[in-house]
Amino acid sequence: MKRLFRRSRAIFPVAPWPDSPPPRALSMLADGTNPIHRLLDDWRLPRHETRAQLTARLGLSPGGLSHREMLALPEAIRLAGALEPWTADGSDRIPPQFPIGRFSSVVWFEDDAHANLRRIAGDLATKLGPAPTGQHWNTLVAAWRAGTARISLIAWPPELQPSDLAIDAEKRDPRLRTACHVHVETGYCLPLSSQERDWVAGFRPIRMAGSVGTERMAKAGTAAAHETELEYVRDPSGLVADRQGRMGLSADGRALIVVSNQLYVMPRASILRLDVTRLTRAKGAGGSSLRAICRTQAPGTDGLSVHVAQSSDPDGMTALAEDLGAGLGCPVSIGPYEPDC
């Protein structure tokens, strides 16, 4: 066993990285299918059934390891060492009309975070190949990526955590202190409709002082969308390579287009208002941000907030918001100055 342990350490080295270890990038299979999707189907994760359909069939399960309302998926095949069935977020802030885009599991074999991560990484390596594994801040991580689909592992070794850290879930189940969390992102998003494709192909970028989205965002088409944003995220394939980090209106003025970490297409009729937040220098550097508040079918919120742009100047987004509001015919709310605490 000691010899096997030394071998697994050699195959999956756990060393500090200046940034998170890069995911193993996977190519599509010979038949054009996504290898991560193929594995999810082997695990019987319901990535095609809508959240509404699954919730109606299975219901939400309060409690469990997280003590939050979750959608438990007992029909999916559990990973070796899983402490509970696969789960999905049960938040009512997620629109229910789309397939679930994120699944989670927690695995534990022994009271050693390093060993637990190495074990599940080894199991996945037999199916997807080995991924770089290492320490990032106070965690151990590894990941595989194919397109916008991703499988990520993360563990929090107790020796890397603050000595006074107290987590209620770990008090209820001490195994969580050294467990490895497995997160799946399917990368689901809607393709562009014919109308939306015309809007994106002909949209007129607006020059602005500031930056689109938030700083250091990934490029559109390289990361899975947040499930709360699926109503307005679209597949950008082949349409926005030369417009990354830009925003503007469609040629007919009927939609707001934002190309940041995702491609956002927001029809004028779906935008309730534009909100500007203004922060003055305090503990933080201050600045301003512009968000579009859009209609949503998520029952737990009155509107979805999409981050449009930001500026280091507290007044940097005001004129842009007013111009966009005039072009879209929607209300604009300019917030009061508040200290950046």
User: What does residue 182 show for φ and ψ, rounded to 5 degrees?
Assistant: -110, 125
Q: What is the pLDDT of residue 98?
A: 98
Instruction: Provide the pLDDT confidence category of residue 63 given band limits of 50, 70 and 90.
Output: low
pLDDT digit string, tens, across residues 72-115: 999 999 999 999 999 999 999 999 999 999 999 999 999 999 99
What's the Rg (C-alpha) of the chain? 22
* pLDDT tens per residue, range 198-251: 999 999 999 998 999 875 667 899 999 999 999 999 999 988 888 999 999 999
Confidence of residue 331 (pLDDT cuts 50, 70, 90): very high
The beta-strand segments (E) located in the chain are 15-16, 24-25, 70-73, 86-89, 102-107, 133-136, 139-146, 149-155, 180-185, 204-205, 211-212, 233-234, 246-249, 255-259, 263-267, 271-280, 287-294, 304-311, 332-339
Q: What are 260-273's pLDDT values in tens digits? A: 999 999 999 999 99
| Mean pLDDT value of segment 23-40 | 97
Residues in the chain: 341
According to the model, what pLDDT value does residue 5 have?
33
Average pLDDT over residues 29-34: 97
* Mode of pairing for the β-strands spanning 263-267 and 233-234: antiparallel
